[in-house]
Every structure is written in structure tokens, then in C-alpha cells.
Chain A
């Protein structure tokens, strides 16, 4: 009798346990978050003082012989990323910071030493830079864990940095490593992106739910192998290759309410989950180069600088919303513009109904920037570099040198044209409870311009999907 009872008990346990085990496990976003082994303490590998950045890199390479080659292949070093066909010439070209212009400081040519402070390498000070020299790779800027590493002109380590201490400290990149450049793009805190600034070094729940509430690192999402960091900045990218998406970790339709899930066919996650950007640190929204050079105005970083012109900063900004299929029409040097209209430097492609297009949130950056009235081309003027506008306040000279460096002609006919850049937002994601609610968009005075988005009226009233 006892044996029979035992058999019954065992059978029951097996059956119930089987049910529990076979129950499908719901996929958790946490499954995709990498875990890191403790980083090897490198302190003992650097017994002697290190004289220069290149010297440090040389020592790194003794144990990590392939690392420099890996980094040198990436956009962080090349400042060239996506390959695209130049619609004008039909040529396949690589584009990136190196050869594109924006409507902030415009272009790097002639201004290398100050721009390349953020180059993941050493010594890029002119157009003759050796991109094949392995010791030119800057390992420390990403791997420093002392928080003391700083880069100076041409990306050289700042004079007062104790390179030995920095080298001893190396580890996986944390938020402040990435933020050292990406939080300060455009020459100052929060200037460029709007969704990236130093609040993300130590964010609270509401600054960014991933980095704040969950204390995630940049590299948790921006992973990649062999130093090839994933992620796209559409100011310098033109396609989504090697990009990352919310759906890499989250389900396509993760909401409990099917009405919200229906939105994900037409609306990017970011649209609802990033209600505003630049929440605590203001970001630059407008830059008017044409006002530069006015001695009578007082300099003030957030309103007017003689060298740069007039600015408008804003914080807690409501994004602009447009359809976006993850590709952009990029303005390339040499393209002619219609100077009677607003010139888009990276207009997002896609419209209502086009494949892959969703409504995305953007930071729009407007500028008045110099161009050649005769050739109708945008010219990157030399600013910080030799003979640059910041030193001599001579537009013609600055434009002339700049045009020559990029292989264009400058006619001497200076003009200022309104330009616009679209910066799609993906950071400063708020907790779900702070995301947009129905009436943020679907109400009188809501934040969507339905007509501009291709709807007759609010799709809640007239029906949007399934047509």
C-alpha cells in the first residue's frame, strides 16, 4: 500500500510539474540585455608613466593586437559610415561626418583641430591625416574609468591628464564615456541632439526609463562586435543598416490594450514614449549665422555670440512629427538648392501608407547658413581653422578657403539660406505611465497636425487604419 501511494504522489508531481514547465514563457526584454563579466583589473599592466596617447595605444596593442584594426574600420574613427549612391554623379560614396555638412558648425574641413577633439583617434589636424596608423586609435576615450580623461585639439589627450592612471583604470564603456562626446555634440552641453545630454550620465526615472530606472548602459542597446558599435545618427546616416530598434528587445505589440497595439503599425514607439525632449537641459533649436559679427551685441552663450550669430534654445520641447521610413534624402556637397525655400539637409523619406514608414518624433533644427548665391550651393566656411571666420570675421575669405578645401568654387556672392535638419529622437524615453495619452493627439488642440500627416482629419473621428 505505501508503495502505491508513493507512485500516485510521484505521478501527480510529474504531471503538475510538467504543466508548469511546458507553460510558454513570455519573452522578457531583459533576456536581450547582455551581462558583463567583471572587467580584468588592468592596473598591474601599466607600471610606468605613459608619455603620450599613442604610447598608451601601443601598450594596449601588445595584448589586444587586433583592436586598433577593428576600431579603424568603424565610423568612430573613419567618420564615414553608410554607403550611398550620389544621385547627382551616380557614384557609390561613403558618407559621414567627414564629408557631410550640417546646419550647426557646418563642416569639418579646415576646422579639423577643434572638430576632431571628439575623434576616436589622435592627431587629426588636417586633410593629410594617416588613417592607417594603428597607434592613432584612441583607446582611452571610450575605456577610461577614472573620469579624468579629456581630449584637446586634434583629439590629443589634454595636457593635465595622467595617462598612466587612466590606462590602469580601463573597463567597459559607461554612459559618461559615450556622453563625453555625444552629450556635447555641437560644441556644448545638449546643443545638437536634444535627446542626449549630461542628464543621462546619472538620470532619474523620468529622464530616461532605461538608463534611469533600470540603470542601463549605452552599450546595452548599442552593442556590436569587434568595436563596430550599432546605432544610427540620421544627421550623418542615410539608412537603417546596423541600426537598433525598440523591437530588438520589446515585442512589436507589447501593450495590454489592443487599441494601443493597433497604433504600432503607423506610429513609432518613440512617438508616444518620448513626449518631450531636452527636458532638463535646453537644446539649440535655431541658429542664425547671418547675425554673426555684430560688435554691438553682447555675447551670451544661449542667445548671441559674435563668432556664431544668434540662437534660440528651448527645453522640454514637444517634438515635430513626420512620417519616416528610416531613410533620408541627404544634401551632399555640390548639390544645388532652391534658395527660395527652406532647404532640408536630411529630409526623412516616407509618407502615409508608404512601406515601413511610421510617424516619428523629430527635433527640428533650423538655421540660416551661408551659401553661394550664384552657384546655389551650400559652402562649409572655415571657422575655427586658419583664416577662419571666428578669427577674422570675413565671410568671403572663410567661404573661399572652405570651398577650396572641399573642391568647390566660391563666386563671392554670399547669401544666407534657411536650412532644416531632422533629428529623430530615441532617447529620453519616459516610463510607460508618462507616455502620451489618447488626448495628447486625439483632441482639439492636440499635438498632431493631421492634415500635414496626410489625414483628412483626426483619424479617431474619420478612421485611419484599414483603408
Chain B
């Protein structure tokens, strides 16, 4: 019973395609039939007993098919001579495709491997392999041997599209007909409803759809379709010998394995478990993406579609309540990216498009982020095996023979008793659920139940070329990154008392996301959990920023208080005889200012990378580049300077002398705390030999031996994480390194504040800075 309904739905879908094609072709000269495929020989049609079917001359007996068929165009001048036949009809219903094709192909093997020939879906050979399906047999003539020459071929995209989603040619502008409202799955809008995908080479701007900024969309709906690829080019037979030569895995010394299946053996037994080729099968992402920084990390963490299916414009479902049937015969649906959908004509809907969310997806190379469209779905399922109840059955419950709601359904749902079921009334209350449940049981559904799930449908098509991708770094590397953006699941309330939960096979994709039900709207909240993923510019740990900011604030406050007191007290330095000393050699000054410039550049760019959108509004990738270049300059500068200090022995300046260290450090500290306000003399004399006071020495030992190496190391690791991500995997990726680097930069910022402030503590506020510029400093005359 169920299968027959499935078949009926399928036939309906095919008929709708045929009908829409027929409508599209009205007023045009009759088109030539699809060219005959000369590669496929003529063959006998056979019925279920294996007997050959010959055409009968005269009246057709299969009226249902005949009526929908265009008047058959004259047969092509085929390469095989065809005796001009009288008008013939073929008893289509009698054709047994398994028997017919079994003359050459192992149909039993094919059916056993075919995912299109399983429990719930049974598609026969000609539906996919003959353009137009089995009815197209009518358009072709028999030869004198009683064989028929049909243009059998690998399934075209149009064949696939008749059940899977919109595919389209170039000749007629693409449109979406009101039968979208039927919400058929499978059906000509199936994948389009799931995700908004359209597999067509036609330019979006050439369609009849009402797209926002339509004429800026001068790109095909899918670039592969525009490049002449058919569905079967990527979804190919598992043992296709031509594709088998691409197999990467195997003995490394072989480029190709000659022991692959022969063509003839393949044609006998083509494995119909269709593969879904990954992008990497044809494309090498490392060879393109020249302008993208850290391409290795990006391709490791992201599925290609994450950037290359950035926005979809066809009506994709946001929420669907399949437990009820609207007056149009379909479920209650809400669509994504659609504004103003007043009329039941999807062509007129104003589509602004939607950006799919990024969820996790298992691939051959691990888990990657890929785009998904989450859909809130309520549907009847048979609790026995969890399969959804056929939409036809639900329709049968709601809609009578006359195409109108059944009277008892109106009575059941019509709350305001106006004799009509308005949109708001189309939601099943607890009592109504029981009634429908009963009716479905009566139709043979075993223990029907309502299930409310959020399904995440992966977006795999609608691929755009590089220039149309979500190319801006900020779409991910920013506060409102695509990684965490919440997404609406519509305002349909669904059946009373049925809670939405994440569908089991969508759990990975939606991990970390939470379904939140507001008064108005169901929202899939952003993923707070992003284990193992640290997106620069987006992820940050609040506490590191808070801690760092506190330290920074403390230094600012300290400087303000200390400096304020100095200004208030304003005691002149005790006059002492001064002499001019050449304290800082040219190289010392160069390395000092190089260091200063590179660190300031690092801080400025670092802050902007950490808080994208702050500051100058430079492009993220430029900021990262400048940051990296500044880091390299700083490291080289540090290395040269270390070399200088070691070879000249100047490094001793930094090493505290143990003798009297405590006394001297106390004296220096006391000077900063007290003496400086009273105009006391510097407690420790400065000289060419002793440029640094003990406090400075301690600071620099910590800075140069702990903070600086730590910052260089974490910075380098951040960079390595971009170019060779596998190196960081054992230590959890960037999620630890990022925050450490962040705290380090706060400390550096703090150092700079204090350092700059302390330069004002010379005998005049500007004296020390001047000294670092000119090299000459006024020192107090005091013999050391």
C-alpha cells in the first residue's frame, strides 16, 4: 500500500515536470527530441514474462500517459534505418524494465547495489537513463526487427532533478512554480526546499525569480553546472573504471592500476551505489587560494562549501509542519531569505538570500566545518520503525475527493467557527492530534506519532567561483562570526506539546547549539562550545582579556597617581654638577627604536586582530601580514642585539651585581616612592658602565627571559598553526596558545606604559628620551 502511494507521488512529480516542460515550450517551435545516443544499441522491450513487446497499431490503451504527452514529433532520421511506422502505441504499463535491460545488464546486481532501489524508493531504469522517462518510449520507433532505439544515456542532471531538486537548462528562464507549496520530498524541489540549492548553469540574473540586486548576480546558480558538469560526474557509479583510475589510495609506487574493471564488465554490472565525490577529487585547494593566508589551516578546518556556497537564494525551508495540510495540499512552511511572500507564486517572492550556518561534518580527513541549513520539522512518523508517514496519506486525511478540506477536519480545527481553516488554525491541539492519529491508523499506518526535530541539511551545491565567495575575512574572523551566528527556525508553533529536539543524524552538525523557544520564534542559538577550534578574531576568553585589562589599568592608574603626585609636589632636582656623557652608541639606539617600533606595530595590529572592526578598519589579512612582518623584524632585531650584547660584553649591564643588591634595589624603590617627590637625588649614579638600575635589571631579566620568549614562541606557534596545522593538534590547536599570547600582549602593553613613564624620571622629564635619541646624556658628576 505504502509503496504504491510512493509510486503515485513519484508519477505525479514526473507528470508535473512533464507538464511544466510542456508549458514552458508553448509558443515555441517544436523542439527536436534529445539526440539519439548512437552508443547504445537497439533492444527489445520485454514484459514481466520476458516476452517481447511489439508495438500495436491504432488506439493507445495507456491514456493517462498519452494525455500528458506532447504529440510525438516525427522520429529522427536515425542512423538505423527505420521503416516509416504507422501511428503506433506501446503498452507502457506492460514494460518490465528489469527484464528488458537484463538482456545486456545484470539488473539483479544493479538493483542489489542501488540506493535508488531500496525499501522506500524504487526507481526503475528508464526514469533515470532515458530522457523523459518511460513515457518517452512513445516518441521512438521500432526497427524492422522489433527492436527500439532509445537515447539511453548516463542520467542527465534533469533526470536527477526530477526527484532531487531544481536543475535547469539555459534556454528558458528559471522559475519556481506554485507546486513548490506541495513540499514534496522527493520531488522536483526536494533539495531546493532543504537548502535552497539549485543546480543550473543559467545565470541567476536570467531567471524569473525576484532576487534582491538581481542584476548584480551575474553568475550561474552553480558554477559546475555552468562548466558542463552533470550530476553523474560527481555522483558516479562506485566501480566506474574511468573514475577508478583516480583512486589515490593504494601502492604508492603506482600511478594507475591497470587491473581495474574492464569496460565491458562494468557495463554488465555497474555498481549503482552512487558515490559523492569530494571537491578534492578534482581540485587541489593548496594550488589555488593564492590570496588567502594560512590556506592549509583553512582547508583543514573548513569544507570547501563553507566559503564556496556562501549564500543561497532559492526558497529553503526554515520550518515545516507536516502534521497538517494547507488548502494548497502541502505542509505549513516557512522559508529562509524570503521577504514579502504574499502570493502563492514563488517567482514573485522577494528573495534576499540566506547564509547557511557552519556546523561540523565528518569527512575523509576528519571533522570540518561545513554549511548547513537547519530546519524545524514536525511530522507524523510510524513509531514502529520511525519512518515518516507518506505525505499522500496525511493529505488524504485532510483533503477530500473534491480537493477541499473534509467537513470533520474543518469541525476539528476551525476554532473561530467561520467555516474556514485560517493559517493560525492550522496547528494540531492535543485532541486534534488524537483524531488525526486515529485516521492515519485507519489508513494502515502503524502507531503514528508526531516527531518534532531540527534537521541540519548540508549545503553541497550552489557552488560559486572564487570571486563570489564569502571572501571577506571578517565573515568568520569577527565578533559576529558565521561560526556562532544564531539562526531563526521560524515562527510556526507546531503541534501542541511536541518539543523540538535535534535529529540524531544532525547532532554532530549542530553540536554546541541550543534550541531556544521565545514567545514569537524558535531560534537555534550560536554555538558557544567550540572545542578545539579557536578562530582568530572571533574566539577569545573573557578572563584573559579581563585580567590583561586589569593589569594594564593598574599600570595606567599607578602612572597617573605617581605622575600626578610628582606634578603636585614639583620639587626641583637637587642641583648637582652635571657632565655630558656619550651613553648610547648608534647601534644601541637603532636596536632600541627598532624594537620600540616593531612592538608598537605588533600591539596595534594585534589589538585589531583580537578585536576585528576596531581601529583603522584595515582588512584582516593585511593586519595579520603586518603583524607577522613586524614580528619577524622584532625577532631578528632581538637576535642581532643579543649578539651585540654578548660580543661587546654589554650584556653585563643587565646582570645584577649580587653585592649589596638588596640595599640598592630598596634604595631605588624608595626613591620612586618617596625621594622623587621631594626632589631627592637619584640614589644610584648612572654611568656608561652602569646604565641600568637594579629595578630595571630585574624587570629586563623577566621581560627578556620569560615574557619575550613566551610571546615569540606562542606567536610562532600561532603562525605554524596556520601553515602546518597538524603540528598543533597534540596540544589542542590554538585554543591554549591563543589566550597565552593574548595575556602576554597585555603584559607587553603594560611594560610599555610603565617604561615610557619611567623615562620621564630623569633630571628633566624629557632628558632620558633625548638621550636615547642623541646618545648623550647629562649625568651627575660622581665618581663611582
Contact = CB atoms under 8 A, between A and B. Distances in A.
Contacts of B590: 5
Nearest to A440: B170
Contact of A439 (B35, B201, B585, B586): B201
B228 A442 contact: yes
Contact of A5 (B218, B220, B228, B587): B587
Contacts of B169: 443-445
Contacts of A446: 170
Contact of A444 (B156, B203, B226): B156
Given A433-B218, A445-B169, A445-B170, A439 B156 contact: no
Interface in B582-605: 585-587, 590
A446 B227 CA distance: 12
A456 to B, nearest CB: 11
B228 A433 contact: no
A437 B218 contact: no
B219 interface: yes
B225 interface: yes
Contacts of A442: 228
Contact of B201 (A1, A431, A443, A460): A443
Interface in B175-227: 201, 203, 218-220, 225-227
B263 interface: no
A38 interface: no
Contacts of B646: none
A438 B203 CA distance: 12
A5 B586 contact: yes
B264 interface: no
A437 B586 contact: no
Contacts of B34: 444
Interface string B541-575: 00000000000000000000000000000000000
A353 to B, nearest CB: 24
B587 A437 contact: no
B95 to A, nearest CB: 25
A439 B225 CA distance: 8
Contacts of A431: 218
Given A443-B170, A445-B170, A437 B220 contact: yes
Contacts of B585: 1
Given A1-B587, A445-B171, A439 B218 contact: no
Contacts of A445: 169-171
Interface string A423-467: 000000001011001111011111000000000000010000000
Nearest to B34: A444
A355 interface: no
B586 A2 contact: yes
B156 A437 contact: no
A272 to B, nearest CB: 13
Contacts of B586: 1-2, 5
Contacts of B218: 431, 433-434
Interface residues of A, number: 16
A457 B384 CA distance: 54
B226 A439 contact: yes
A434 B215 CA distance: 11
B228 A443 contact: yes
B226 A438 contact: yes
Contacts of A434: 218
Given A1-B585, A1-B586, A5-B590, A437 B226 contact: yes
A5 B591 CA distance: 12
Contact of B170 (A1, A5, A439, A460): A439
A111 to B, nearest CB: 38
A396 B385 CA distance: 89
Nearest to A461: B228
B227 A439 contact: yes
A439 B226 CA distance: 5
A434 B219 CA distance: 8
Contacts of A444: 34-35, 156, 169
Nearest to B216: A433
A409 B629 CA distance: 86
A112 B587 CA distance: 89
A437 B171 contact: no
A443 B224 CA distance: 12
A437 B170 CA distance: 11
Contacts of B156: 444
Contacts of B201: 437-439, 443
Contacts of B220: 437
B142 to A, nearest CB: 25
Nearest to B587: A1
Instruction: Name the residue in B218, B228, B587, B590 with the highest tally of chain A Cβ atoms < 10 Å from its Cβ.
Output: B228
Contacts of A433: 218-219
A354 B35 CA distance: 29
Interface string A202-220: 0000000000000000000
A431 B220 CA distance: 15
Instruction: Name the residue in A433, A437, A442, A460 with the highest tally of chain B Cβ atoms < 10 Å from its Cβ.
Output: A437
A414 to B, nearest CB: 32
Contact of B228 (A1, A2, A438): A438
A460 B171 contact: no
B165 to A, nearest CB: 18
Nearest to B220: A437
Interface string B37-52: 0000000000000000
B219 A438 contact: no
Given A437-B226, A437-B227, A439-B227, 15 more contacts: A1-B586, A5-B586, A5-B587, A431-B218, A437-B201, A438-B201, A438-B227, A439-B226, A442-B228, A443-B169, A443-B228, A444-B35, A444-B156, A445-B169, A445-B170
26 contacts: A1-B585, A1-B586, A1-B587, A2-B586, A5-B587, A433-B218, A437-B220, A437-B227, A438-B201, A438-B226, A439-B170, A439-B201, A439-B225, A439-B226, A439-B228, A442-B228, A443-B169, A443-B170, A443-B201, A443-B228, A444-B156, A444-B169, A445-B169, A445-B170, A446-B170, A460-B228
Interface of A: 1-2, 5, 431, 433-434, 437-440, 442-446, 460
Q: What are the nearest 6 A-B pairs in CB distance? A: A439-B201, A437-B226, A438-B227, A442-B228, A433-B218, A438-B228
